[in-house]
Amino acid sequence: MARDYFDGKELPEGLKAMGDYFAVVPDDNASWCECDRCREVLAISRQDKRGEGFFSNASSSYYIFNFVNQVAKEVRKTHPDKFVAALAYASYAYPPKSLKLEPNVSVAPCLHTCYGYDKKTFANDMALYNSWLADKGRRIYLWNYFHHPMEPAIIGKWNCFPCFMPDVISREVKRYHKDGVRGVFLCGIGTQLDYYLYMQTAFNVETDYKKLVSEFFSRYFGAASEPMKRFYYRISEINREEGVVGTTREVSWLRLGTEERMKELGGYVEKAVTLVTTDLERKRVDTWKKGVWEYMKTGRDQFRAK
């Protein structure tokens, strides 16, 4: 099918390819084949304990990349200038041991940008990321997660304590530039300002995130900029102080959004409301008040009631 695609034939439904890349990525689960041959390869794969206990680990790395490699080897015989694209994800996040990947395999490690304040999770991500970088000459792309804490909250129908992380975004995008990452896919629900910061830093790696954030609040909220900026930074500081992401009600509202902190955050928003001088400023403050602050307040009130 890869050869057919590179020969200009129509791509079958369900497969993904673009330009010089044909993707070989399993479905988003670990329901691997149970035949004797696959169990034998999986047994080899599961001896690899890197990342054990984390979402991103190596327990299926040899199994998946052994297959990817075989496809790439065959494609290379007929289309030496084309690439087989793979993710490094979940149980196959680390590069396989005792297997040299074909040069026409491009890889996109999946990194939890949204866990930038969770030291253990982020350290595991850096371990797998650096292990892929060690394969010199490999075409490296990235899949960046922005899905937590919002995704589990939406699925579970509850409101979470948000996570803003301007320093993490600035640091990581600059790291990707330095390391020669070729492109990034942004996955999940990023905030208005955090996505803006990510893109501006990607466009210009010399971007100073503090200056850009200050410029945003000044130009967006006008007379109400200072308390709104403090509201944003304080949420970021709280996540950093606790070193967790609010992916459960308990973490969101017992560890992060405590009564004392919520009172402080609410004060910044109410101060901003009193400072607006134009209808546009009022509308913009109201957007953040409803979309962020009242969302948070509802989440804590519902948690307390429950």
**For residues 165 and 117, is the Cβ–Cβ distance under 8 A?**
yes
3-state secondary structure of 284: helix
Copy the structure tokens of residue 223: 């007379």
Residue 131's Cα: distance from chain center in Å? 18
**For residues 65 and 101, is the Cβ–Cβ distance under 8 A?**
yes
pLDDT the model gives residue 234? 98
pLDDT the model gives residue 123? 97
CA dist 291 to 65, 95, 100, 212, 298, Å? 43, 41, 49, 22, 11
The DSSP secondary-structure symbol of 55 reads S
DSSP element (H, E) containing 185: strand 184-188
DSSP element (H, E) containing 187: strand 184-188
Do 94 and 58 belong to one domain? yes
Do 273 and 139 belong to one domain? no
User: Domain boundary at 153, 179, 209, which?
Assistant: 209
pLDDT the model gives residue 2? 97
pLDDT the model gives residue 188? 86
Do 103 and 195 belong to one domain? yes
Do 204 and 232 belong to one domain? no
Least Cα distance to 99 among 86, 81, 116 occurs for 86
Do 205 and 219 belong to one domain? no
Residue 230's Cα: distance from chain center in Å? 25
Do 185 and 216 belong to one domain? no
- In one letter, which amino acid is 190? G
Separation of alpha carbons 74 and 211, rounded Å: 50
Note the residue count of the chain.
Answer: 306
Do 148 and 23 belong to one domain? yes
Do 216 and 194 belong to one domain? no
User: Domain boundary at 209, 228, 244, which?
Assistant: 209
Separation of alpha carbons 58 and 54, rounded Å: 10
Copy the structure tokens of residue 189: 């629900």
pLDDT the model gives residue 36? 96
**For residues 294 and 270, is the Cβ–Cβ distance under 8 A?**
no
Nearby residues of 128 by Cβ (< 8 Å), 6 or more positions away: 50, 51, 56, 58, 88, 93, 94, 95, 109
Do 150 and 279 belong to one domain? no
Separation of alpha carbons 284 and 279, rounded Å: 9
User: Domain boundary at 209, 229, 249, which?
Assistant: 209
Copy the structure tokens of residue 178: 């330095």
Q: Residue 159 belongs to what domain range?
A: 2-209
Q: How many CB atoms lie within 10 A of CB 188?
A: 13
Do 79 and 130 belong to one domain? yes
pLDDT the model gives residue 37? 94
Can you give the pLDDT of all 306 residues of the chain as single tens digits? 999 999 999 999 999 999 999 999 999 998 999 999 999 999 999 999 999 999 999 999 999 999 999 999 999 999 999 999 999 999 999 999 989 999 999 999 999 999 999 999 999 999 999 999 999 999 999 999 989 999 999 999 999 999 999 999 999 999 999 999 999 999 987 789 999 999 999 999 999 999 999 999 999 999 999 999 999 999 999 999 999 999 999 999 999 999 999 999 999 999 999 999 999 999 999 999 999 999 999 999 999 998
Copy the structure tokens of residue 300: 């804590």
Radius of gyration (Cα) for the chain, nearest Å?
23
Do 32 and 144 belong to one domain? yes
Do 66 and 110 belong to one domain? yes
Residues paired with 201 in a beta bridge: none
